[in-house]
Amino acid sequence: MACFAFPKNFCDRLNAYISNFWWKGNPEDRGIHWANWANLTVVKAHGGMGFQDFKAFNTALLARQAWRLIKFPNSYCSRILKGVYYSSFDMRSAVKGRKASWAWASLLQGRDLLLKGLRWQVRNEASIQF
Protein backbone atom coordinates (compact mmCIF):
# COMPACT_ATOMS: atom_id res chain seq x y z
CA MET A 1 0.00 0.00 0.00
CA ALA A 2 2.95 2.31 0.55
CA CYS A 3 4.61 1.70 -2.82
CA PHE A 4 1.75 1.46 -5.32
CA ALA A 5 -1.30 3.60 -6.00
CA PHE A 6 -4.34 1.41 -5.72
CA PRO A 7 -7.06 1.91 -8.33
CA LYS A 8 -10.02 4.03 -7.24
CA ASN A 9 -12.47 1.16 -7.70
CA PHE A 10 -10.41 -1.09 -5.42
CA CYS A 11 -10.29 1.56 -2.69
CA ASP A 12 -14.04 2.12 -3.04
CA ARG A 13 -14.64 -1.62 -2.61
CA LEU A 14 -12.47 -1.69 0.53
CA ASN A 15 -14.40 1.27 1.93
CA ALA A 16 -17.68 -0.50 1.09
CA TYR A 17 -16.57 -3.67 2.90
CA ILE A 18 -15.72 -1.67 6.01
CA SER A 19 -18.98 0.29 5.97
CA ASN A 20 -21.06 -2.83 5.31
CA PHE A 21 -19.40 -4.64 8.18
CA TRP A 22 -19.97 -1.67 10.45
CA TRP A 23 -23.61 -1.17 9.55
CA LYS A 24 -24.75 -4.73 8.80
CA GLY A 25 -22.47 -7.08 10.68
CA ASN A 26 -24.10 -10.01 8.92
CA PRO A 27 -23.90 -10.02 5.09
CA GLU A 28 -27.47 -11.36 4.79
CA ASP A 29 -28.99 -8.57 6.88
CA ARG A 30 -30.14 -5.28 5.49
CA GLY A 31 -28.43 -2.62 7.55
CA ILE A 32 -29.36 0.97 8.22
CA HIS A 33 -26.75 3.58 7.35
CA TRP A 34 -27.06 6.13 10.10
CA ALA A 35 -24.38 8.44 8.72
CA ASN A 36 -22.68 9.23 5.43
CA TRP A 37 -19.32 7.53 4.79
CA ALA A 38 -17.66 10.94 4.40
CA ASN A 39 -18.78 11.81 7.93
CA LEU A 40 -17.48 8.53 9.30
CA THR A 41 -13.96 9.18 7.96
CA VAL A 42 -13.64 12.45 9.90
CA VAL A 43 -11.21 12.17 12.82
CA LYS A 44 -12.70 11.56 16.24
CA ALA A 45 -11.52 14.89 17.60
CA HIS A 46 -13.70 16.63 15.00
CA GLY A 47 -16.84 14.58 15.64
CA GLY A 48 -16.35 11.66 13.24
CA MET A 49 -15.77 7.97 13.79
CA GLY A 50 -12.15 8.02 12.65
CA PHE A 51 -12.42 5.41 9.87
CA GLN A 52 -9.70 5.45 7.23
CA ASP A 53 -10.59 6.37 3.68
CA PHE A 54 -8.36 3.95 1.79
CA LYS A 55 -7.71 6.25 -1.19
CA ALA A 56 -6.56 9.10 1.07
CA PHE A 57 -4.55 6.69 3.21
CA ASN A 58 -2.84 5.20 0.15
CA THR A 59 -1.96 8.66 -1.17
CA ALA A 60 -0.59 9.68 2.24
CA LEU A 61 1.66 6.62 2.33
CA LEU A 62 2.94 7.41 -1.17
CA ALA A 63 3.65 10.98 -0.07
CA ARG A 64 5.65 9.58 2.84
CA GLN A 65 7.76 7.49 0.47
CA ALA A 66 8.35 10.53 -1.74
CA TRP A 67 9.39 12.53 1.34
CA ARG A 68 11.91 9.81 2.21
CA LEU A 69 13.38 10.04 -1.30
CA ILE A 70 13.73 13.81 -0.91
CA LYS A 71 15.01 13.72 2.67
CA PHE A 72 17.50 10.88 2.18
CA PRO A 73 18.92 11.26 -1.35
CA ASN A 74 21.86 8.93 -0.62
CA SER A 75 19.74 5.95 0.41
CA TYR A 76 20.00 2.84 -1.73
CA CYS A 77 16.43 3.07 -3.03
CA SER A 78 16.81 6.76 -3.83
CA ARG A 79 20.03 6.21 -5.73
CA ILE A 80 18.48 3.41 -7.80
CA LEU A 81 15.39 5.45 -8.67
CA LYS A 82 17.53 8.49 -9.44
CA GLY A 83 19.69 6.47 -11.82
CA VAL A 84 16.69 5.01 -13.62
CA TYR A 85 14.10 7.81 -13.66
CA TYR A 86 15.50 11.24 -12.79
CA SER A 87 19.27 11.24 -13.26
CA SER A 88 19.48 14.86 -14.38
CA PHE A 89 16.85 16.25 -11.98
CA ASP A 90 16.07 16.21 -8.30
CA MET A 91 13.01 14.44 -6.90
CA ARG A 92 10.99 17.65 -6.65
CA SER A 93 11.19 18.33 -10.39
CA ALA A 94 11.28 14.78 -11.75
CA VAL A 95 8.88 13.90 -14.57
CA LYS A 96 7.03 10.69 -15.33
CA GLY A 97 8.68 9.85 -18.65
CA ARG A 98 7.50 7.51 -21.41
CA LYS A 99 8.42 4.16 -19.86
CA ALA A 100 7.55 4.80 -16.23
CA SER A 101 6.74 1.84 -14.04
CA TRP A 102 3.61 1.67 -11.93
CA ALA A 103 5.70 2.20 -8.80
CA TRP A 104 7.34 5.35 -10.20
CA ALA A 105 4.03 6.79 -11.39
CA SER A 106 2.60 6.07 -7.93
CA LEU A 107 5.49 7.81 -6.18
CA LEU A 108 4.94 10.85 -8.38
CA GLN A 109 1.31 10.98 -7.23
CA GLY A 110 2.53 11.04 -3.65
CA ARG A 111 5.16 13.62 -4.52
CA ASP A 112 2.50 15.91 -5.99
CA LEU A 113 0.55 15.76 -2.74
CA LEU A 114 3.74 16.36 -0.78
CA LEU A 115 4.68 19.41 -2.82
CA LYS A 116 1.37 21.08 -1.94
CA GLY A 117 2.45 21.31 1.69
CA LEU A 118 6.24 21.33 1.40
CA ARG A 119 8.01 24.37 2.85
CA TRP A 120 11.62 25.48 2.86
CA GLN A 121 13.10 26.51 6.20
CA VAL A 122 16.10 28.78 6.64
CA ARG A 123 18.35 27.47 9.41
CA ASN A 124 21.47 29.48 8.71
CA GLU A 125 22.67 31.85 6.02
CA ALA A 126 25.05 29.24 4.58
CA SER A 127 22.14 27.22 3.17
CA ILE A 128 20.83 30.14 1.06
CA GLN A 129 22.07 30.18 -2.51
CA PHE A 130 21.69 33.28 -4.67
Each residue's pLDDT tens digit in the chain (130 positions)?
678 899 999 999 998 888 887 777 776 777 777 777 788 888 889 888 888 889 989 999 999 999 998 889 899 988 998 888 888 888 888 888 888 888 888 999 999 998 888 777 777 777 676 6
Where do the structural domains in the chain lie, given as residue ranges? Answer: 1-114
pTM above 0.85, yes or no: no
Query: Which amino acid does the sequence have at 28?
Result: E
Neighbours of 55 (CB within 10 A): 17
With 0-12 / 13-18 / 19 or more C-beta atoms within 10 angstroms meaning exposed / middle / buried, residue 32 is exposed
